[in-house]
Amino acid sequence: MTFMDTAGYYDPIQYPLLFPYGSYGWSINSLDTNGRTIPCRAFYAYLFQIRLHVISIILLAGRLFQQFIVDNFVKIEANKLRWLRDHQDTIRAELYQGLQDCLDAGELNPVNAGKKTILPSSFVGSPRDMNQRYQDAMALVQHYGKPDLFVTMTCNPTWREIVEELLPGQTPQDRPDLITRIFHAKFEEFKSDVVDKSALGKVVAYVYVVEFQKSGLPHVHMLLILDENDKPRSPEEYDKIVRAEIPDRDEEPRLYDVVLKHMIHKPCGAGRRNSSCMENGVCKRKFPKSFSASTIQGDNSYPIYRRRGDRPAVPLHENSTTYVDNKWVVPYNSWLLLKYDCHINVEICSSIKCVKYLYKYVHKGVDRVSMEVRTGSENNEIQQFVDARWVCAPEALWRIYQFTLTRMCPSVERLQLHLQNRQQIRFNTNQSIEDILQMPQNSRTMLTEFFKMNVSDPEARKYLYIEFPQHYRWLTSSKNMEKKEE
């Protein structure tokens, strides 16, 4: 079966303004100089590069450039999903006992066992992938305790590095490639400051997820767990990390300007019900906040930060008729805000109640724009993922450039947990159920080998299952446990 998006003539036919000479695009038969197949992602990552002394029509195309980026990312993702849809036989999974039940019932064909259409966790951004990452993140809490800081960093489209690279007549929204690449570089430096250089305290574990606003700007949600000696435990220590006030213009003029530019929640409320933050007549961010003479521990997820009411409101910017005071300030860290000149919200996680919410929030998955209720019994996870998927140009480029969407440190070993003969196995439909059940590796799992090690190795009896990966290594290929060298 031939798909138009896998043919080289798709690009010049669909985008004649970008390919006026009918230049041949990527196809499934594209080869490099060594005769190797060129992946679709690599082809377009090369095409979108900036080259000295070369005028690229694509980079000058404005909104058409954005559409071309998204279209090609959808093409890349569609090819992956098409492969998964066509190779369900190789990823078909079912509980071991479920196969045994099929055999007992006289069913010998494994095609009739297992789920119909699976979107595996290996597909980045899928519901299974995000759910596993959430579970991994919660494992960090079990070992290290609750997170101490919740940081959100958002791209500033007016960064000097972006503006100076714009071509004549362009605005930042015309160059999602610059926005994506420069934000990635800025975040890598930010991560080095926070994690490696301990700008907010020594970090022992962290999780971050990159997301994209409806406006297209990338932002990062980052959860930090600090060393015991650096954990903020009192309002006085909170004030050393987080501020929620407009600084004095005479004492800190640059910080004053940056706070008003990036860290003010635009006034909303009864007179501004059309604001994006309004939900059922109330600001979902709970602005404006109340004045507070000092920082208070608070009963919920965040402290009540110091927001003194002893200063008059100031104009939001020069010649502005909108005046704001400390009630509208988003909590920030002065040093990070001055260095990166963008929206960086820093919050103290003062209560264990916020842990589950925060980890679920950062692993909520891709945005969707609508919902459709369908009839039928088929469970098609791939179609459910594709329906109403929302993608912007910077996200498409982030994926095309293969930048990391999410990371957790340290890594987590996923332990299998199941009842007897209820483990999940993978099989091909060209095998009979009887042959599948007779394969010895299908009856071995981490859990069953943990029990076996406790029988054969007295040293293993000292450790709980959750402690086992620190002392024993799971060999995926042979499905055996091996003791680590001390």
For residue range 396-421, list pLDDT tens digits in order.
999 999 999 889 999 888 787 777 87
* Domain spans, the chain: 1-114+413-437, 127-167+174-373, 444-483
Token digits for 462? 């000292």
What are the beta bridge partners of residue 172?
none
Task: Give the closest residue to 413 by CA, choosing from 323, 328, 481.
Answer: 481
Tell me the C-alpha distance between 66 and 58, whole Å: 10
pLDDT of residue 366: 62
Lowest-confidence segment of 245-254, 378-387, 473-482 by average pLDDT: 378-387
Average model confidence (pLDDT) for the chain? 86
| DSSP string covering 291-349 | PBSS-B--SSSS-B--B---S--EESSTT-S-EE-GGGBPPB-HHHHHHH-S-EEEEE-
Question: pLDDT tens digits, residue range 220-275?
Answer: 999 999 999 999 999 999 999 999 999 999 999 999 999 999 999 988 887 787 88
At which residue do the structure tokens 């004030």 appear?
239
Could you count the other beta carbons within 10 Å of the beta carbon of residue 448? 17
Question: pLDDT tens digits, residue range 45-88?
Answer: 999 999 988 889 999 999 999 999 999 999 999 888 888 888 77
Tell me the C-alpha distance between 346 and 331, whole Å: 6
Confidence class of residue 130 from pLDDT cuts 50, 70 and 90? confident
What are the beta bridge partners of residue 344?
153
pLDDT of residue 246: 97
Over residues 292-302, the mean pLDDT reads: 82
Angle between helices 354-362 and 127-144 (to 10 degrees): 140
Lowest-confidence segment of 109-123, 145-159, 262-276, 377-391 by average pLDDT: 109-123
Amino acid at 415: L
**Residue spans of beta strands (DSSP E) within 334-418:** 344-348, 406-409
Question: pLDDT tens digits, residue range 362-374?
Answer: 667 666 555 555 5
- Close Cβ partners of 138 (under 8 Å, ≥ 6 residues apart): 355, 356, 359
Give the rounded percent of residues in the chain with a pLDDT score beyond 90. 48
| Segment of 40-54, 170-184, 275-289 carrying the highest mean pLDDT | 170-184
pLDDT of residue 127: 81
Residue 138: how many CA atoms within 13 Å on its side-chain side?
16
Residue 435: how many CA atoms within 13 Å on its side-chain side?
8
Over residues 10-20, the mean pLDDT reads: 93
DSSP 380: B
pLDDT of residue 375: 53
**The total number of residues written for the chain in this structure:** 486
Tell me the C-alpha distance between 205 and 312, whole Å: 41
Question: pLDDT tens digits, residue range 95-120?
Answer: 445 545 555 555 556 555 555 677 77
DSSP 482: E
pLDDT of residue 374: 56
